[in-house]
Amino acid sequence: MEASRHANQFLGTGHVTDADQGNKVAVPIEAGARIRELDALRGVALLGILLANVRQLFLPWEIGEFAVAGAGGERLAWLDWQIFNSLVDLKFLTLFSLLFGAGFALQGERVAARGGGFVSIYLRRVLILAMFGIAHALLLYPAEVLAPYAVAGLLLLGARHWSADTLFRIGLILLGTATLWGYQLGGLGLGSLGWISLGTTALTVILLAAAVFVLWRRNWVMALGVWAVILLGAGCALTLQFKAGDSASGVADDYRAAQQSLAAMRADDSAAWPEELQVRRLGDFGALVRLHAGQYADILFYFAFLLLWRTLSLFMIGAGLYRRGILNRGTPAAWKRGAGIGLGMGLPLSLLATWLQGREIQGLADWRFPEFLHAFSALPLAAGIAGAVFALSQRQALRRLWNLLEAPGRMALTNYLGQSLAMAALAEPWGLNLYARLGGPALTVLALAVFTALALFSHAWLARFRMGPLEWLWRCGTYWQWLPNR
């Protein structure tokens, strides 16, 4: 399950000169200046993010990542999990990160065109983004990504003068390193294989440090060599793992524990409920905030160890793709070709990983490497989804659908936080108190309904205003002045 298993720096707003006042001020981009394909892609990404987050908003995290049966029965729950795991989980977080990087390059380009001030504007922008994120985590959803994105965005600021090729290459190297590091932490773990895993962890840390040093020197040839060594080390670790044959703490054990926890949650005896359910069913708002604070601390710990590297790498790749003109000057033929390559590479890998993970969950195997295949498939699959959205958005027969998707894409911050608010109002004790009462398929349907309602709201709002309410507040705070929005 991904961390959010965020925002548009990645929202794609720009700057023009106010000729009447004789100086440069920030105003929204006019409709004709926007990149409508990116707006539509953000809308699609928001839907995927909601489909991923709804499971953590309505179920404990250790349960939501598995097939959870509801009224439709066990078979439907497994089908829902397979579709989610193959097409949604991690893919849309990857897509959002790429869009943030593209938005970084877009904003830098436009601020440079109006005469500078990029660093001060950007620093205020990420600070406000972090404040939104902390409030989001404590009040609504602790597995949020806005504050972690702000931290990674600060690191991205140091790469603002890099060329498109340098950003793209270093981003790919960092992504490969982070993927292998994540496999070591999540697949092997420190306790499951004793000294073998401990040695692999130490080696990975050393190689990661070396890779970061080489990347800092921007010698991508040497960095590729470090990446190759890491790949070799991961292969050796995998071989040793098979020889060890240790099945402790396997996925099947985790699944059985989740099923037992779910059964306890559905029992009438509240004393047997896990602490999280007791807080969410019986606790007051203060207890809920304290629960969120503890969970958010775990998320930030995970971010510092792993997600930071992966997020920063995707920011770099997205910025490199934008500066190469692929995201803003691509042709329909190029987008179709990109969709075919991305889906052709990513989808088979993701389907294979899901099938292997299903066998692990059922206790038929204990390979531990399917999670690595799953993470490896995320970038090509996200690229394929982006190419398909860009290509299909040109079809006039689907114009109404894309208009509906572009509206939440233009209001991505408002919709991202609005999704959490709507789901919390349905799940939490201060709302309808539906927490842990719905299975996976029902949650998927609920997510689709909430997304549609917010998309319609966004469409109606933008008929009267230039930008969403939170985007407007974000812009006013960034430039420290009240700006017109009607």
Query: What is the tens place of the pLDDT at every residue in 52-76?
Result: 999 989 988 878 888 887 666 788 8
Query: What is the tens place of the pLDDT at every residue in 258-292?
Result: 888 888 877 776 766 777 888 888 778 889 999 99
Is the pLDDT higher at 371 or at 198? 371
Q: Domain of 133?
A: 16-479
Q: Share the mean pLDDT of the chain.
A: 79
Query: What is the C-alpha to C-alpha distance for residues 86 and 378, in angstroms, rounded to an integer?
Result: 10
Residues 6+ apart with CB under 8 A from 402: 36, 40, 392, 393
Quick check: is 5 in a domain? no
Is the pLDDT higher at 284 or at 33? 284
Query: What is the tens place of the pLDDT at every residue in 339-355?
Result: 999 999 999 999 999 99
Pair of tokens at residue 431: 């709302």
Quick check: is 4 in a domain? no
Quick check: is 469 in a domain? yes
For 25: left if phi > 0, alpha if psi spans -120 to 50, otherwise beta; the answer is beta
Segment 353-378 shows an average pLDDT of 85
Count CB-CB contacts under 10 A for residue 484: 9
pTM here?
0.83
Is the pLDDT higher at 235 or at 31? 235
- pLDDT attached to residue 203: 64
- pLDDT attached to residue 207: 64
Query: What is the C-alpha to C-alpha distance for residues 295 and 3, in angstroms, rounded to an integer?
Result: 11
- What DSSP state is assigned to residue 182? H
Segment 109-124 shows an average pLDDT of 76
Query: What is the tens place of the pLDDT at every residue in 169-185?
Result: 888 888 887 887 777 66
Number of independent structural domains in the chain: 1
Identity of the amino acid at 358: G
Quick check: is 8 in a domain? no
How far, in Å, are 43, 406, 455 from residue 401 at the CA level? 11, 9, 11
Segment 142-171 shows an average pLDDT of 88
Collapsing DSSP to helix, strand or coil, 16 comes out as strand
**Percent of the chain that is helix, strand, coil (3-state, to 5):** 75, 0, 25
Quick check: is 485 in a domain? no
Query: What is the C-alpha to C-alpha distance for residues 357 and 90, in angstroms, rounded to an integer?
Result: 15
Quick check: is 6 in a domain? no
